[in-house]
Amino acid sequence: MTVNRTARRRRRPLTAPLATLLAALSVGLLTAPATASPATAGSGPVAAETASRPDPARELRLTARPATDARALDRIVGSAKVVGIGEATHSSGDFFRAKHRMFEQLVERQGFTTFALEANWSAGLRVDDYVRTGKGDIRKIMDEEFVNSYAFWNTEEYLDLFTWMRQHNVRHPGHPVRFMGNDLGYAGPELFDRVTGYVARTRPALLPRFQELYRGSRPTGTGVECDVDVDAWMNAYLVKPEAERKALGANVNRALTLLEGLRPAAGDGPAAREAHTWAVQHARAIAQVGTEYAFGLTTPEGLKEAMLYRDRVMAENTVWWQRHTGDRMVVSAHNAHLAYETVWPEQYPRTQGAFLRDLLGRDYVAVGASFGRGSFNAHDVEQPGEPVRAVTVGPLGADSNAHVLDRVAARPFLVDLRTATPAARDWLNGARPTRSIGTAYPWPASVTPVRLAASYDAVLHFPEISAARLRR
């Protein structure tokens, strides 16, 4: 039976507190109950630059380069193995198109191979199959996989990226590009099938045990073409009693431990070891989903623990892929995931970017994205029941980061913060109001204080942005 995942279902707004939990667990960022607010978000202007201080916009202009300058991007990236490229909203086309262009430049000029997205591991496998082999209809895959909060990836801009990746692989079979999802909001039935299929081939006597451990966690149906609805599954799983979620999480972790111990014999050869390595990683992705949903998501402390776990997992999945494949990678996610500093430690204690720097050192480079004014798609938290809409915002105040960045250049630009002048660095080290918009607007953390120099290695700034083109 073909999956029935309609656009209305994917993009319908959710009721609180479910909207808060899904926004946090899927792709939303820095969410909290409407009564909460970060202690310092937008509170009080940073001391105004005095006439005796150098103009920070003029100082940044000395090292800023057009956003399309491939050589400037080469210098920022250097020899890094993983480059995080952020976004200040989750649904503005300018950010998505820039990531496509930068990935294409890095593929062609520096041999990059993988584009990683803040999407589910199982969704990533399906998109990867398409870009590598042409398997499936990419539009159908996007409609089926990019649902719930992940529906913000179901855009014409990402379709263009995936189409280019497939065309590149047809033209350059000796230098194929790949796609991965490093997130943990959902594990599709085909992911369970990959694990149980491996067990059936190598340890058939243990298959009933794995099926028992996965019962209740595996979405119903067989393979990709089944009656599973990702949106309905995520909604239903979140409202299960905490004790049931903990039991399911314990079972999928038992399955992972069991599979890790089923190592191939010494004489089985490299193909057997490779098959086992991938099967374990697939089982690990299943266990990650079960672990995330087992936290006490209705309490502030439980949500904080879940967010910490999620960002650590995204970093670990990315590093696993990079080390196993040897690929140089672009990682696409919200600024608040890829930055080195968190803007809201009470709710969002540590970022994927901080974990990546721990694991990779200088082999990880973070490029934050910024904008002055413009539009994006989001759920309107002030109008429950309304569909996703385009939101337009004007410039922030004179105390904001964007106010100065807007004066650097009239067109989008890229600036390496590490090579900025001392006077520019002094300004970049100050915490100033900055927009940070996830899947819903407005949240209390839509504007937060950010220290640019402490958060990123480089910044990509757009004076104006426009909403992404949603496919449904």
51 pLDDT tier (thresholds 50, 70, 90): low
Q: Measured between alpha carbons, how far is 254 from 251 in angstroms, rounded to an integer?
A: 5
Written as one string, the DSSP assignment of 247-268 is HHHHHHHHHHHHHHT-PPPGGG
* Whether 448 contacts 42, CB under 8 Å: yes
Helices (H), 69-137: 70-77, 93-110, 121-133
The pLDDT of residue 102 is above 70 = yes
The pLDDT of residue 182 is above 80 = yes
Residue 266: the pLDDT is: 80
More confident residue, 369 or 37: 369
Q: Measured between alpha carbons, how far is 57 from 406 in angstroms, rounded to an integer?
A: 8
More confident residue, 89 or 387: 89
* Whether 16 contacts 391, CB under 8 Å: no
Residue 382: the pLDDT is: 78
3-state SS assignment for residue 463: strand
More confident residue, 311 or 41: 311
The predicted model gives 411-415 an average pLDDT of 98
Share of the chain above pLDDT 70, in %: 87
Contacts of residue 450, defined as CB under 8 A and 6 or more positions apart, other chains included, come to: 339, 341, 343, 401, 431, 432, 433, 434, 436
Peptide bond into 270 cis (omega under 30): no
- Helix then strand then coil, in percent of the chain rounded to 5, is 50, 15, 35
Q: Measured between alpha carbons, how far is 2 from 140 in angstroms, rounded to an integer?
A: 10
The predicted model gives 303-324 an average pLDDT of 97
Nearest residue to 247 (alpha-carbon basis) of 201, 281, 276, 214: 214
Residue 304: the pLDDT is: 94
The predicted model gives 384-405 an average pLDDT of 92
Written as one string, the DSSP assignment of 177-221 is -EEEEEE-S---HHHHHHHHHHHHHH-GGGHHHHHHHHTTTSPSS
Give CA separation, 285 vs 179, 233, 234, 351, 352, in Å. 16, 17, 16, 19, 17
Residue 40: the pLDDT is: 37
Per-residue tokens: 418: 């590490």
The pLDDT of residue 243 is above 50 = yes
Q: Measured between alpha carbons, how far is 262 from 243 in angstroms, rounded to an integer?
A: 29
Q: How many CA atoms lie within 13 A of 220 on its CB side?
A: 7
DSSP for residue 465: E
Residue 18: the pLDDT is: 45
More confident residue, 257 or 222: 257
Q: Kindly report the pTM of this predicted structure.
A: 0.90
227 pLDDT tier (thresholds 50, 70, 90): low
The predicted model gives 192-221 an average pLDDT of 95
Which one of 146-150, 261-265, 450-454 scores highest in mean pLDDT? 450-454
3-state SS assignment for residue 223: coil
The pLDDT of residue 47 is above 60 = no
9 pLDDT tier (thresholds 50, 70, 90): very low
The pLDDT of residue 427 is above 80 = yes
3-state SS assignment for residue 224: coil
The pLDDT of residue 3 is above 60 = no
Q: Measured between alpha carbons, how far is 308 from 4 in angstroms, rounded to an integer?
A: 33
Helix (H) or strand (E) holding 450: strand 447-451
221 pLDDT tier (thresholds 50, 70, 90): low
3-state SS, 316-374, equals: HHHHHHHHHHCCCEEEECCHHHHCCCCCCCCCCCCCHHHHHHHHHHHHEEEEEEEEEEE
* Whether 151 contacts 216, CB under 8 Å: no
Nearest residue to 38 (alpha-carbon basis) of 343, 463, 400, 387: 343
Per-residue tokens: 279: 């099967």
Residue 169: the pLDDT is: 98
Amino acid letter, residue 216: G
Nearest residue to 92 (alpha-carbon basis) of 367, 464, 364, 472: 464
Residue 12: the pLDDT is: 43
Q: Measured between alpha carbons, how far is 174 from 342 in angstroms, rounded to an integer?
A: 40
pLDDT digits (tens, 9 = 90+) for 289-313: 999 999 998 899 999 999 999 999 9
Per-residue tokens: 29: 């960022």
